Amino acid sequence: MPPRRDPASFMWSEAVELLDRAERLHRQFFRPAPPGPRRACWIPPIDVYETEDAVTIVVALPGVGADQLHVAVEDGVLVVAGERTLPLGCDGIIHRLEIPHGRFERRIELPAGAFRMGRRELSAGCLVLTLDKMG
């Protein structure tokens, strides 16, 4: 018979493991800007869906306006780049900063085939791109 685990110890170890996982995810998406001009300092998370007719990509970009975005397809890779600025600029005291800001870039390798840009919509903090399949 296996030894009984203390429920409080079990819950504590689970909580610590979840905090570690959250911290790793935070570090993955929010990195200090590397040296050099105009380098990306964070990578927005994405969802990619494919249907028979199209590939739809949802990019989480809270606080990013359409005028702050650049979207292009380069050699079978969709590139979404831009910048999220601080809402207050440099004025004010920052008490907590969890949403990444600064330059971002996400490169998404597309499935084989030819695509043309279909729908492009910025809604509820997400950029929704639909690439229609050609042929």
Note the pLDDT tens digit of each residue in 91-119: 778 788 888 888 999 999 999 889 999 99
- Per-residue pLDDT reduced to its tens digit, 3-17: 666 777 777 878 778
Extract the tokens encoding 122: 């910025």
Residues forming a β-bridge with 70:
81
Q: What is the pLDDT of residue 107?
A: 95
For the chain, what is the mean pLDDT?
Answer: 83
| pLDDT at residue 26, rounded to an integer | 59
Q: Is the pLDDT of residue 72 over 70?
A: yes
113 contacts: CB under 8 Å, gap ≥ 6: 133, 134, 135
For the segment 27-47, the average pLDDT, to the nearest whole number, is: 69
What is the band of 89 on the pLDDT scale with cuts at 50, 70, 90? Answer: low
Q: How many of the other CB atoms lie within 10 Å of CB of 8?
A: 8
Please name the residue ranges forming H helices in the chain: 7-29
Percent of the chain with pLDDT over 90: 47
pLDDT bin (cut points 50, 70, 90) of residue 1 is low
pLDDT at 29 over 90: no
